[in-house]
């Protein structure tokens, strides 16, 4: 039996090649890595290409006038708010329950996320619970993820950065604590730090690859509609971004989130009992 076959009995070919790389001090690209890890390795090069081909300026804060759908959401913000607050915070899972991969930024279980969709997967049960919001989301081109995001009193999301320059983040403020100044997001731009306190019915768009952190130092919940959409780019960058997002969609990172969301969507709501009970 060859050495390779013996090694295959003990582990995968990828494991064996990875060991050889380590033993001999040379590298094979992507050997022994998941799609998610490969994506992280090549992300800086992808980001540089996307920015060179971006159809909007590369700034931390993004002008809402580039996107006609923003006005659609703002006109309907009260309808969206009513659907969001009807779903009580205790019925919305914490991000830490949904995704272990979010690690330290989801460590505070007072950050709760009610997902409609992400990377091509839709949570049908959640869409049915907020049907008007879901109808409005269907009208947004190049949507990547969409959720109600709730910060409970005292919640803090530590400084972090997003996954790619190929997407940006949108917030629609729905229910904001009376002490607005104590509930805010801080975004570290290239030449300026922006601290923003939400106003109900108003929008915020930003590039989340700039470092940012969030705090709700009040005694009230904060509700926003949080979505990610693709950055408008020239055709070559759009194609590259499509491939990148395909890899993210099929990565273990997203597959674990999908599995957990499917399980949580079937969980009885507060005050309800399961059929087994």
| Contact in structure between 177 and 209 (CB atoms under 8 Å) | no
Asked if 77 contacts 259 with a C-beta cutoff of 8 angstroms, the reply is no
How confident is the model at residue 253, as a pLDDT? 73
Task: Please report which helix (H) or strand (E) contains residue 195, including its range.
Answer: strand 193-196
**C-alpha distances out from residue 224 to 21, 51, 91, 114, 143, Å:** 47, 28, 16, 11, 17
Say how far apart CA 57 and CA 53 lie, in whole Å. Answer: 10
- Which residue, among 223, 272, 247, 269, has the nearest Cα to 39 in the 3D structure? 247
- What local confidence, expressed as pLDDT, does residue 67 receive? 96
In this prediction, residue 263 carries a pLDDT of 74
The dihedral region occupied by 142, where left means phi > 0, alpha psi between -120 and 50, and beta the remainder, is left
Sites in the chain below the pLDDT cut of 70: 1-40, 89-90, 95-97, 99-108, 264-277
Predicted pLDDT of residue 261: 72
Residues in contact with 149: Cβ distance below 8 Å, sequence separation at least 6, in sequence order: 111, 112, 113, 114, 171, 223, 224, 225, 226
CA distances from 159 to 97, 138, 180 (A): 20, 31, 20
Q: Tell me, what's the pLDDT at 36?
A: 55
Give residue 22's pLDDT.
45
Q: Could you tell me which of 45, 35, 40, 36 has the C-alpha nearest to residue 237?
A: 45
- Neighbour count for residue 83 (Cβ, 10 Å): 19
Distance, CA of 175 to CA of 119 (rounded, Å): 26
**Angle at CA of residue 110, ends 109 and 113, nearest 5°:** 85
Mention every residue, 6+ apart, whose C-beta is less than 8 A from residue 165. Answer: 46, 47, 50, 51, 54, 58, 207, 209, 231
pLDDT of residue 216: 97
The Cα–Cα gap between 53 and 47 comes to 10
pLDDT for residue 271:
44
pLDDT for residue 32: 58
CB hemisphere CA count around 246 (13 angstroms): 6
Give pLDDT, residue 100.
61
The domain locations on the chain are 52-265
Q: Identify the CATH number of the domain defined by range 52-265.
A: 2.60.120.330
Q: Which pTM was predicted?
A: 0.80
């Amino acid at each position: 039996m060859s050495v390779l076959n013996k090694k295959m009995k003990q582990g995968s070919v990828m494991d064996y090649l990875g060991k050889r790389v380590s033993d001999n001090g040379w590298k094979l690209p992507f050997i022994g890595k998941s799609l998610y890890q490969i994506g992280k390795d090549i992300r800086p090069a992808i980001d540089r290409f996307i920015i060179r081909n971006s159809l909007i300026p590369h700034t931390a804060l993004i002008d809402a006038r580039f996107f006609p759908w923003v006005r659609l959401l703002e006109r309907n913000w009260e309808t969206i708010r009513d659907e969001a607050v009807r779903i009580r915070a205790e019925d919305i899972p914490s991000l830490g329950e949904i995704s272990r991969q979010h690690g330290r930024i989801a460590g505070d279980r007072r950050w709760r996320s009610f997902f409609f969709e992400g990377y091509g997967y839709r949570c049908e049960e959640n869409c049915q619970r907020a049907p008007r919001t879901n109808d409005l989301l269907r009208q947004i081109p190049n949507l990547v993820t969409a959720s109600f995001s709730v910060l409970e009193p005292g919640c803090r999301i530590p400084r972090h950065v997003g996954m790619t320059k190929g997407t940006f983040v949108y917030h629609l403020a729905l229910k904001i604590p009376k002490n607005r100044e104590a509930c805010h997001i801080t975004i570290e731009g290239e030449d300026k730090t922006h601290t923003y306190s939400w106003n109900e019915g108003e929008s915020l768009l930003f590039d989340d690859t700039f470092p940012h952190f969030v705090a709700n130092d009040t005694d009230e919940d904060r509700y926003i509609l949080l979505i990610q959409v693709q950055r408008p780019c020239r055709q070559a960058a759009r194609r590259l971004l499509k491939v990148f997002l395909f890899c993210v969609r099929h990565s273990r990172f997203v597959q674990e989130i999908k599995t957990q969301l499917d399980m949580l969507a079937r969980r009885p709501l507060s005050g309800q009992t399961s059929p087994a009970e």
